[in-house]
Amino acid sequence: MSERSTTLFAYGSHLQPIRTGRAADAASALAWIVGAAATLGHPAGLALAGFLLGIVATSVERAVAAGASFGISVAAAGVVWLTVTGSMPPTAGFTPIELLGLALVGPPTVAAIVRALG
């Protein structure tokens, strides 16, 4: 009998070359870029960023760290935007406190769930 995978879904083993191979850094950078671009369009991009960062992470701990660093970067970018322009960035009707909470909690949570599943 073959040994079962340690993840819930079978796709995890197929992602090993992307997670640990030569393209790992490029995959992580691409996840950041796509997530940032999606977040500019709508705050739901934070969840997409967490999803992508969870897919390319090598462990749940690294997924949480990548998601948290992305959220902190988005929050810092929002503060810089507010400081430079004097107005809030496009937020689709969310208050600044809601956006801060979404940025700091959303990506690490989604990244951890995605990585734990696969």
- Does the pTM surpass 0.85? The reply is no
- In the chain, what are the helix, strand and coil shares in percent, each to the nearest 5? 75, 0, 25
Label residues 50-75 b or e (16+ Cβ within 10 Å = b).
bbbbbbbbeebebbbbbbbebbebbb
Under the banding of pLDDT at 50, 70 and 90, the label for residue 1 is very low
- Report which of residues 11 and 21 the model is more confident about: 21
114 burial via Cβ count (<10 Å: 0-12, 13-18, 19+):
buried
DSSP state of 43: T
Average pLDDT of the chain, as a whole number: 84
pLDDT digits (tens, 9 = 90+) for 23-49: 888 889 999 999 999 998 888 999 999
pLDDT digits (tens, 9 = 90+) for 83-107: 898 877 777 678 888 888 999 999 9
Domain boundaries, the chain: 10-117
